[in-house]
């Protein structure tokens, strides 16, 4: 059973990496990006080494939802994935006003938007 779960996670990660290249893509960090389609992705730039050499030291990926329409509370459902395809975390539903903090290591990571409320804006950064 563990073998099948591992295979599913690996295939999901590889699918995420391959599909993300064909969708709208934004860098991490990005702030107040209006979500215009499902499968929007945010990815760290593998050529920029902001946090020194790669290590297993943990940091956090922060995902925050805002809204262009103040009369409704926005939300977005996202998955967090290492760009090497080895780790897929989520899905998470992020509500406006409640940022999501996901513990990650220093590999490159991405965020894929699976679903959202129309008018939602997303900010993604690493701390």
Which CATH fold topology does 2-126 show? Jelly Rolls (2.60.120)
Question: Is residue 20 pLDDT above 50, yes or no?
Answer: no
Cα 80 to its chain centre, rounded Å, is: 4
Residue 8 is predicted with a pLDDT of 63
Q: Residue 89 pLDDT > 70, yes or no?
A: yes
Nearest alpha carbon to residue 75 among 59, 54, 98: 98
Strands in 1-127 per DSSP E: 25-28, 30-34, 41-44, 59-67, 75-82, 88-95, 100-104, 109-116, 120-126
What are the domain boundaries of the chain? 2-126
Q: In this predicted model, which residue has the larger pLDDT, 62 or 48?
A: 62
């Amino acid at each position: 059973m563990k073998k099948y779960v591992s295979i599913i996670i690996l295939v999901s990660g590889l699918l995420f990496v391959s599909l993300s290249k064909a969708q709208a893509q934004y860098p991490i960090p990005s702030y107040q990006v209006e979500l215009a389609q499902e499968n929007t992705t945010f990815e760290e730039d593998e050529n920029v080494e902001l946090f020194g050499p790669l290590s297993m030291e943990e940091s956090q990926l922060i995902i925050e939802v805002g809204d262009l329409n103040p009369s409704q509370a926005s939300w977005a459902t996202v998955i967090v994935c290492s760009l090497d395809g080895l780790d897929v975390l989520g899905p998470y539903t992020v509500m406006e006003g409640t940022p999501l903090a996901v513990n990650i290591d220093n590999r490159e990571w991405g965020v894929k938007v699976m679903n959202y409320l129309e008018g939602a804006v997303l900010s993604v950064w690493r701390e």
